[in-house]
Each structure stands twice: as structure tokens, then as C-alpha cells.
Structure 1
Amino acid sequence: MIICSKLMPQGRGLARVLIQRASTITLDWDTRQKSRFDATDSAGRQLGVFLPRGTVVRGGDVLVAEDGSLVRVQAAPQAVLRITACTEHGSPFDLTRAAYHLGNRHVPIELQPDHLKIEPDHVLADMLRAMHMTVVAVSEAFEPESGAYGDHGASSHGHEHSHEHGPAGHAHAAQAEPHVHGPECQHGHAAPAAKPPAGKRIAIPVRAAPAAPHVHGPDCNHGH
């Protein structure tokens, strides 16, 4: 048995020709949501997959075997319910409502712009039809949405968030170190105002209060 303990989401970093030449394994969702399982690849080799707990394997991912060989994962078609909005009696918004009610029941859901997919469940199928949704049983690959903090996800496909979206891609801008003003900062700061020498007393003149105005009268003794 050959051990595979490394996963490269969607084969990022690998040349396309290497991915095309890799052997393949075709797995349904029940197996791909496990972090440890056995499988047989297209070359007939027995593989033992041992990934970190909580890892989910998606169609298009590439496993790296202990001998350095690559194994491309394919999502196997399986029985699912395909849910679409009724074109005669509903609107595209009905699909949002359906996703909301299914999410409240904590069932795995594959989200697509024009349809949803869930695993077969006749109770949920009846609920959806009562909401005027069209529900059809099909055999297709199933890639349900992962949690917001879960695996790399069916829809994200390895999209790494390092927020600062722009034409050059995603990158965190480095924070500049705070400027420290000093004698060598070359910012042309004005010289600080000179301070009076320590201990020197400064005389402050004090004006005498003006005398009250004289009022002439019989008692002023001015000899009027």
C-alpha cells in the first residue's frame, strides 16, 4: 500500500502536464469528506490516504504519494436532488429562500447560480415542492458548500484571502513604522523657542490703582 499524506488543493503550483499525467481516483462525497480512507487508483495501486483531521477532498485536488507520484481526485457521479426555481410560478429569488430553509436543517448543499443540490431526502423534496420548487433526481458529482471556516471549499478552490484586492492580486500592505522626530530626521523642523535661564527672576511692573475722581462741594476745602 502506498501512503498519501499531502493534499494540493486543485493542484495549485503544479504544471498542467504533470496533473494530466497523474493517475486518478474517483470518489463519492461520502468518502471525500473523510480524512482517512483507502482507494485504488487508475494504475491499480492500493492507496492509503492519511490527511489532517477535518480535511475534505474535492474533485480536482491532487494527492502526493510517499514515492513522489501524483494522484488526481475526481468527484464520482452519485444520486442527488437537483433543485431549480419554477419558471412558470416562481422567480429566481425562490432559490435563495430554498437555500435558507435547507440551511436551517443543516443538510449539505451544493450552491450553484441557477440550482441547488442535496442528497436524496423525500421529506425535504416534499417541502421544496410545496414551495413551488422543481426537484429532480439525477446522478451527478456532489460538491456541497463547506463552512465559512472549513476546508478550501467547492466554490473557493484554494482562493487565499489576504485582503487588499487589486489588479496585482491579493496582498497585505506592510505597515510603515511610526516616524520618530529627532535631530537627524531631515524634516526641517523649526528650532524650539529659547527658554529663559533657570532661576532668573523677571520683574513685572505693577500699576497703582487710579484715584477716585474729585467731587467739588461745600466740604471739599478747596476755597471755591
Structure 2
Amino acid sequence: MLKLTTKLPNPPKTTAFTLTLPYEKRIITRQRVMLDQGLEAGLFLERGGTLQQGDCLQAETGEQVRIQAALEAVSTVYCEDALLLAQVCYHLGNRHIPLEISAGRVRYLQDHVLDDMVRGLGLSVVLEQASFEPEAGAYAGAHAHNSHPYISFNHGH
């Protein structure tokens, strides 16, 4: 069994192994997994992190494994009205669920109650099979997938 212990800061372009996981498994840092090639492995990673599409892990013995986000049942709301999309994000976020937010779109793991709420706000919900990579959260360090290098925070008091 491979012991995957290190998340590489500069992933190589190719790896011999891949590991496809849904979101709920990409937030667990200690678990037994099966690589896509059929090899058993164990994750022994630093606590508190989330694995993202394209991340690369290294085993104690040097093997490298690229992470792939599995396709999952998600609800996607497409909306070009920024204010209405912000309102939908507010109401969904108020329920403390993970959200993947991008320009003109918000996505969450499928939930018929949430789908009905969004429809009640006047928007359509598209049920899809897609990878799910939600926002890391304000206190999680660097932004998960859309960094904003032009925003600077000065917390000097």
C-alpha cells in the first residue's frame, strides 16, 4: 500500500497514478483509498486541507499521484443578473452549505429542498453530473481556485 504523505507545491505535468474522489472524500486527510489504476493507498496528509482537481501527492517511496475531482450529482444555477445571483448565494450560504461560485453561476451538491428554495427565488436549477470544487472559505487561507492577486488586505491597526 502506498503511503501518500506530501502535497507537492509544484505538481509535475504528468504522473503514473491518478486518484478520483468526490468532494466529501477530498476533505478527509486520513483515509484508505483505491487509485484509479487499482493500487491501494493511504492518505496521511496534514489536517485541515482540501484536495483540489490537479493537486499532486507524493508517496514516501516517491510515487506521485494526481487528484481528479469525481463527477457528482450537483445543482447548478446559471444567472447573468449579478444581484439576483448574489441573493441566491446569500440564501444558500445562510444554510452553511459548500458553494462553488463563478461568474454567472453557483453550484452545490444536489438537494431537492435547496432546489425548491432557489426556484422560489425565481431561478431555474439545472441538475447535472459535474465535478464540485466549492469555495475554501474566508478563513481557509489562499482562495481555492480563483485567486485575486490585485486585491490586497492591510490589517495594520
Shared fold, TM over 0.5: yes
The alignment partner of 1:133 has SS state of: coil
CA distance in 2, matches of 1:15, 1:122: 40
Structure 1 SS opposite 2:115: helix
Question: Hey, what does 1:178 align to over in structure 2?
Answer: none
1:1-224 matches, cutoff 5 A: 1-8=1-8, 12-16=9-13, 20-85=14-79, 91-150=81-140, 152-156=142-146
Once residues 143 and 28 of structure 2 are traced to their aligned partners in structure 1, the CA distance between those partners, rounded to angstroms, is 14
Amino acid at match of 1:2: L
Partners of 1:55 and 1:151 within 8 A in 2: no
Which whole-Å deviations, capped at 9, do the CAs of 1:24-63 have from their partners, x for residues lacking one? Answer: 0110001001111221223322110011111111111000
Deviates more, 1:143-152 or 1:65-74: 143-152
Instruction: Give the deviation of 1:74 after TM superposition.
Output: 0.3
Shift of residue 128, structure 1, vs aligned partner: 0.7
Can you list the C-alpha shifts for 1:89-122, whole angstroms capped at 9, x where unaligned? xx33211111111111111100111211111111
Supply the distance in 2 between the matched residues of 1:21 and 1:106 (Cα, whole angstroms): 36
Aligned counterparts of 2:99 and 2:11: Cα–Cα separation in 1: 30
RMSD value, Cα: 2.3
Look at both structures and tell me which one has the larger radius of gyration over its CA atoms.
1
8 A contact 1:83–1:133 mirrored in 2: yes
Q: Which protein has the bigger strand share?
A: 2
CA deviations 1:147-178 (Å, max 9, x no partner) are 11216443247x899x69xxxxxxxxxxxxxx
Q: Which structure is higher in RCO with an 8 Å CA cutoff and minimum separation 6?
A: 2
Counterpart residue number, 1:181: none
In the alignment, the residues of structure 1 paired with residue 133 and residue 11 of structure 2 have an alpha-carbon distance, to the nearest angstrom, of 23
Q: Count the aligned residue pairs.
A: 152
Structure 2 unaligned blocks of 5 or more: none
Identity of matched residues, %: 36
- Listed as ranges, the gaps of 5+ residues in structure 1 are 165-224
